[in-house]
Structure 1
Amino acid sequence: MDETRYRERIDRLVEPGEHVLAHAKADVGGGLTPPPPPEPSPTAGAGRRTVGSVLLNVLLPLATWDRGDRLVDLVGWGIAGRGAAGSAASRLHRAINPPRPDGAVRETLLAVTDRRLLVCRTGPVAVLGGRDAEERALAETEVAWSAARSQVASARVGWHRLNPKRLRIDFADGSWLSFTVPIAESGRPLRGIAAALSA
């Protein structure tokens, strides 16, 4: 998908009088992320399943169990974000990765305006859909999560393991979440997001 068209769609999603300062296509960094926000009805006995979940995750890698997956993420990728359940990073991560995904591939777009940090999701992206499918996915782009600029404490791009292009966004509540682009892509858009948030 042509990234210059992202800006046109993002401009349509902002409020009147709000100006987009920077935008980038990115994915949440690989690794351990903050726990999801609390659910209305917690499940009983979750602690007793922890050891069994980790063991089953190792023995059956195609099956998924939350705690086992978190351990694998920590060992394989490191830490991609921190924060308590319900923190800004936790809510942002849940907005990008809903509890019941539909299996469709969507692009994540970050945008910084003079008022907010916006995280947008495109419509389903068809791998071999052609230009019409790209246009349809772009037309279905919506704001998944936003935060006032005052809720962002800092942002910077730096190295994480072998990736020199990891954007870390720290929030005022002490939580943080990272975003990356593939190694072959330019890190300039992420540096633009960091500069706009730090200005």
Structure 2
Amino acid sequence: MGDIDYRARLADLVEPGEQVLAVAKAEIAQGVLPPDPPQTEQEGLSGAVSGGGGACGALLNLLSPLLSFPAGDKIVDRVTHGVAGRGAAGSSASTLQYARRPVPPATTLDDTILAVTDQRLLVCASGPVKLWSSRADDERAAAGTRVVWSVPRAAVADVRVGWHRLNPKRLRLEFTDGSWLAFTVPIAEPGQPLREIASAFAAG
């Protein structure tokens, strides 16, 4: 998969006169995440899965990833990755993470793109991407990019990049409703785009 340049496409997606200040490809960090939004905010969502499993569920999840127990998932996530976000159901962090959850059956991959403009924070999804892509594949992925979530800049309380366990490149978005969500890039990729996201907020 190539290093796709999404900036030109984002310039087409923003409102007239809105200026794109920083763009970064990132993924929601692994770990315990905020709960999903309330049922009324989830179009077409089936009934909630009941919890259960506890310590036994966590052990089974470690032994066989194909067995899934919600409570066990959370224990494994907390132990192996820590906390990747907090907030009430329906908070900014809750709705953001839900907006980027793959809709089953997920048969394609797409990139998550963060963008800061002079007016908003945008979270976008690219068109389908391929592991081994041609220039034409990358152009199609960029052309298919769409905004899936956004908030005014005023809804963002703080943005910073720092260490989390062994990862020195974790972006933490804190919102004025008290919720927060973390994003990362693969350890082999540079953290400069994440720092540019933070700098764009600090400058404005």
What is the TM-score when the length of structure 2 is the normalising length? Answer: 0.88
**Matching residue's letter, 1:2:** D
CA RMSD of aligned residues (A): 2.1
Given that residues 53 and 69 in structure 2 are in contact (C-alpha distance below 8 angstroms), is that contact kept between their aligned partners in structure 1? Answer: no
36-45 vs 189-198, greater mean Cα deviation: 36-45
Q: 1:83 to 1:99 in 2, by over 3 A?
A: farther
**Partner residue in 2 for 1:84:** 88
Residue identity (%): 55
**Partner residue in 2 for 1:25:** 25
**Matching residue's letter, 2:182:** S
Deviations 1:4-28 (A, max 9, x none): x211111111011100111111111
What is the TM-score when the length of structure 1 is the normalising length? Answer: 0.90
Q: Mapping of 1:39-188 within 5 angstroms?
A: 39-40=39-40, 43=47, 46-47=50-51, 49-51=52-54, 53-54=57-58, 56-100=60-104, 102-188=106-192
Deviations 1:131-170 (A, max 9, x none): 2211111111000110111110000010001111111000
5+ residue gaps, structure 1: none
Please give the secondary structure, in 2, of the residue aligned with 1:10: helix
120-129 vs 164-173, greater mean Cα deviation: 120-129
**Matching residue's letter, 2:3:** D
Distance in structure 1 (CA, Å) of the matches to 2:74 and 2:48? 20
**Matching residue's letter, 1:116:** R
5+ residue gaps, structure 2: none
Distance in structure 1 (CA, Å) of the matches to 2:95 and 2:57? 24
Q: 1:45 to 1:161 in 2, by over 3 A?
A: closer
